[in-house]
């Protein structure tokens, strides 16, 4: 190949590559955006445990947990149906590290119902730490589910306690009202949010977790494990921007 021929070849190849790149860019620009998820009368927003203990200054503060509050408030305006939850523990609750001599927060122990993470004392009944944060502004919420109020059983899920036998009544409540689509927000992604979402799937609800309206604790890889478990359970992972609000 002569020098002239080589130059012609390179110019042609460059032109073809540029044309291909432009075509791909143009195609991407003309692809329609995914349709927004519509919220209907069969949809319910569940706001999990946005309580003082889980926010800055609390005994079990979730990193950047305060960031979910404005997102949840904005979303809630588009939902006719809203349920909130509260951790509501007794003093000396079995899930507290302080209830077990020589144990520290985040250690694991065996209880009759299975493995239990030990936590700092938090959300004790009647204390300021157990209150839903004052900046949560959802006056039209119809129900608050209090969970974990039995001293010998923890409860992450809004539907079923950690013994996996004791129900809260939320499933029957939602079904009696004809609600079939559950959208979960709140704290913490890898524990109470995840357990709530997966139990909702077990109860045959269509379930989405709104990722940017949640924050996780992420102890020992718990956040990645929770998302994997939710995916396997059929829980959808979405963003607040995916909703038609």
Burial class (CB in 10 A: 0-12, 13-18, 19+), 230: buried
* Residues 6+ positions from 245 with CB-CB distance below 8 Å: 39, 74, 75, 77, 78
- The rounded distance, in Å, linking the Cα atoms of 135 and 50 is 10
- The rounded distance, in Å, linking the Cα atoms of 182 and 122 is 27
* Residues 6+ positions from 92 with CB-CB distance below 8 Å: 98, 99, 151
Q: Are 185 and 214 in contact (CB under 8 A)?
A: yes
Catalytic residues: 49, 147, 192
- The rounded distance, in Å, linking the Cα atoms of 118 and 114 is 13
* β-sheet bridge partners, residue 181: 43, 206
């Amino acid at each position: 190949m002569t020098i002239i021929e080589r130059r012609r070849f390179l110019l042609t190849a460059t032109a073809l590559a540029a044309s291909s790149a432009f075509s791909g860019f143009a195609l991407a620009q003309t692809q329609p955006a995914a349709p927004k998820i519509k919220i209907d009368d069969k949809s319910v927003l569940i706001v999990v445990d946005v309580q003082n203990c889980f926010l800055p200054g609390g005994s079990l503060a979730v990193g950047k947990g305060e960031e979910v509050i404005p997102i949840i408030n904005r979303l809630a305006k588009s939902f006719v149906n809203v349920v909130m939850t509260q951790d509501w523990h007794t003093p000396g609750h079995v899930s507290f590290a302080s209830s077990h001599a020589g144990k520290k927060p985040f250690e694991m122990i065996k209880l009759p119902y299975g493995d239990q993470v030990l936590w700092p004392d938090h959300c004790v009944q009647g204390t300021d730490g157990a209150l839903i944060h004052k900046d949560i502004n959802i006056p039209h919420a119809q129900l608050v589910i209090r969970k974990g109020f039995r001293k010998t059983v923890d409860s992450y899920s809004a539907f079923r306690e950690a013994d996996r036998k004791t129900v809260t009544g939320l499933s029957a409540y939602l079904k009696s009202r004809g609600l079939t689509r559950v959208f979960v927000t709140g704290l913490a992604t890898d524990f109470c949010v995840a357990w709530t979402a997966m139990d909702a799937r077990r109860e045959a609800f269509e379930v989405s977790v709104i990722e940017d309206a949640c924050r996780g604790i992420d102890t020992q890889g718990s956040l990645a494990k929770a998302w994997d478990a939710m995916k396997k359970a059929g829980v959808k992972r979405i963003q607040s921007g995916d909703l038609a609000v």
